[in-house]
Amino acid sequence: MEYQPPAPPEERPLLITPDMLVPARPQDPRVPFEKGMSYFPLFVVLLLLANAAAFLWEIATGALADQQAIIAAGALHRDSVLAGEWWRLFTAAFLHGGFDHILGNSIFLYILGLGTEHAFGLARTAAIYLFAALTGSLLSLAMSPGPAVGASGAIFGLMGALAVVFYRRRADFYVRDRAIGAFVGLLAVYQIFIGFTQPFVDNWAHLGGCLGGAAAVLVIRPVLGQESRTYSPAVKGLLAAAFALPAALWLFAAGYLAAAEAQAWFHYGDRPAAIAAATRAIEKNPANTYMLYIRGLLYTSNGQFDAGFVDLDAYLRLNPRSAHAFYVVGQIYYGREQFPKAIEHYSQALALAPRDVNLLNSRGYAAILVGDYAAARADFDAIIAIDPGYAPAYGNLGLIRAYQGDYPQAIELLAKARTMDASQKVLDNLIAALRSERQGHKADATNRYSLFISDANKDRSAWLAEIRFAEARLRALRPAAK
């Protein structure tokens, strides 16, 4: 009989019970913060356009020339605000101190503005921004006399507002891309760095703005969770045309694009390109006097002193509040050895910037060359009162003593300047010559004066008074040395 395998057992379905399942992960009830965010935040875009237009106006009108010019443009300045010009608390937030400043602020504003306008809507974002601009300006005024400019105080207010919102609504929303937070942090560090490197940027405004923005959202409620506030393509197009078309026509007609190009080339050191762009800007808009200033500086730094003088002189007749322009014209007169005219222009610059030690030093040095030692000594004493570590003042006081025949004091002061500034090795032979002459070693003094003149002639304009003194001593000593 053939073998038959046993029949398989009857299969029965297995009942799955809940205790046999792996527990399901709880669903995150939060939603991404970025959900529904518009990448065309209207208020932020309007701010960017306003800041760009204001910066072009600064370039065109010469607001970046010096402190007096930026104050006249609307910078934050303690004395002016206390005198009743309270509007500076807000106008300063629309001005900037340079290309790097406005570029960094624009990137920072767009990124933070995306989130803030998404969280609060247009009107509430505007309120936070302006309040942060105010608190930033107030803290800046309390801690610094100014001048200061920049939107970064108000922008830090947006950062403070978002930080509070993220913390208070952390149970409802999360940021999908955490790298955004790190990038914003890096931008904040960059803005603070700019605050230390740009002359008119104040980090106290950053802190005040951040605190103001954080405080504002304790009162202003966000609108997170509402439907997306995006704008239709038609609305975007109309808005872009409304701002871009007139702006483009104005910029091309007035030549301000060429002015901006000239400023950029000037900033990056390409003199020929900057001169060419400034010339185009002046041809298109003769009223753009700031380009005369820029081109004059470029001509002067390029050794084209006559052309530089023409531009700067024309600029000063129209804008007599530029200390730096007066200084550069004074330098041109100095280079021509027209020292009384140089002193006149240095004095006009000092009337606008009375504590500028470089201006005081230039005027005092020119006074030595015309033999007005009392006026020169007054300038160098004023420098030491302002900045006791300013080495050239001691050296120039020593030179005055040498001209007056007080060799012990001259040697002491020149040696002090040499010790304070190790780069001034050229003084070594002058000091040694004075010592030798004082000790009666006329042959050695003659040799030392000759060596000094040889070294100093490599930068004759910087050592002209010392060279003239050494040449006079050589004429006096050589017959005796024979």
Number of alpha carbons in the 13 Å side-chain half-sphere of residue 315? 31
CATH of the domain at 469: 1.25.40.10
Domain co-membership, 158 together with 118: yes
Nearest partner of 392 among 423, 353, 435, 355, judged by Cα: 423
Least-confidence region, from 5-9, 324-328, 368-372, 466-470:
5-9
- Looking at the fold, whether 275 and 303 belong to one and the same domain comes out as yes
pLDDT digits (tens, 9 = 90+) for 189-205: 666 665 566 555 667 78
Q: Which of 217, 245, 273 is the last residue of a domain?
A: 245
Q: Count, in order, helices (H) and strands (E) of the chain.
A: 22, 2
CA angle 20, 21, 26 (to 5 degrees): 145
User: Average pLDDT of 271-283?
Assistant: 86
Identify whether residues 275 and 214 lie together within a single domain.
Answer: no
> What residue has token string 């005040």?
208
Mean pLDDT is lowest, of 81-90, 232-241, 328-337, 378-387, for 232-241
Looking at the chain, the whole-number percentage of residues with pLDDT higher than 90 is 26
Return the higher-pLDDT residue of 136 and 57.
136
- Identify whether 5 is part of a domain: no
| Token digits of residue 141 | 């005024």
pLDDT surpasses 60 at 226: no
Lowest mean pLDDT among 3-17, 223-237, 308-322: 223-237
The pLDDT of 33-58, averaged and rounded, is: 80
**What is the model's pLDDT at position 447?**
93
Q: Which residue has the tokens 């050695």?
A: 444
The answer to whether residue 473 sits within a structural domain is: yes
Q: How far apart are CA 348 and CA 196, in angstroms?
A: 29
Q: What is residue 248's predicted lDDT score, i.e. its pLDDT?
A: 55
Higher pLDDT among residues 469 and 257, named by residue: 469
The answer to whether the beta carbons of residues 158 and 110 sit under 8 Å apart is: no
Residues 329-358, mean pLDDT to the nearest whole number: 92
Q: Residue 456 corresponds to which tokens in the numbers above?
A: 């100093």
- Average pLDDT of the residues in 255-268: 72
Whether 234 and 263 map to the same domain: the answer is no
For 395-430, how does the pLDDT look when each residue is reduced to its tens digit (9 = 90+)? 999 999 999 999 999 999 999 999 998 888 889 999
| Residue 218 sits in the same domain as residue 285 | no
Query: Is 255 in a helix, a strand, or coil?
Result: coil
Does residue 227 have a pLDDT over 60? no
For residue 31, report the phi and psi dihedrals to the nearest 5 degrees: -120, 155
For 15, list phi and psi in degrees, rounded to 5: -80, 120
State which of 245, 271, 306 marks the end of a domain: 245
Residue 192: give its domain's CATH number: 1.20.1540.10
Indicate whether 241 and 263 sit together in one domain. Answer: no
Q: Are residues 464 and 408 in the same domain?
A: yes
- Of 245, 272, 292, which closes a domain? 245
- Do residues 237 and 264 both lie within one domain? no
Predicted TM-score (pTM) of the model is: 0.59
Do residue 238 and residue 374 come from a single domain? no
The mean pLDDT value for 421-443 works out to: 90
Domain-located, residue 442: yes
User: Domain of 235?
Assistant: 31-245
Examine residue 233 and state whether it is found in any structural domain, yes or no: yes
Residue 276 in contact with residue 261, Cβ under 8 Å?
no
Residues 136 and 207 in one domain: yes
Is residue 393 in a domain?
A: yes
Residues 342 and 238 in one domain: no
CA-CA-CA-CA torsion for 319, 320, 321, 323, nearest 10 degrees?
110
CA distance 451 to 76: 52
Average pLDDT over residues 451-474: 91
Backbone angles phi, psi at 148, to 5 degrees: -140, 145
In a domain, 23, yes or no: no
Residues annotated as part of the active site: 152, 206
CA-based nearest residue to 223, from 278, 169, 160: 169
Which amino acid, one-letter code, is at 188? Answer: A
Residue 6 is assigned to a structural domain of this protein:
no
Q: Which two tokens stand for residue 102?
A: 């406005």
Number of domains in the chain: 2
Structural domain includes residue 16:
no
Contact 399, 368 (CB under 8 A): yes
Please indicate whether residue 14 or residue 259 has the higher confidence score (pLDDT). Answer: 259
Rg (CA), the chain: 34
Are 161 and 265 in the same domain? Answer: no
Q: What is the crossing angle of helices 289-301 and 271-284, to 10°?
A: 150
CA distance 176 to 47: 27
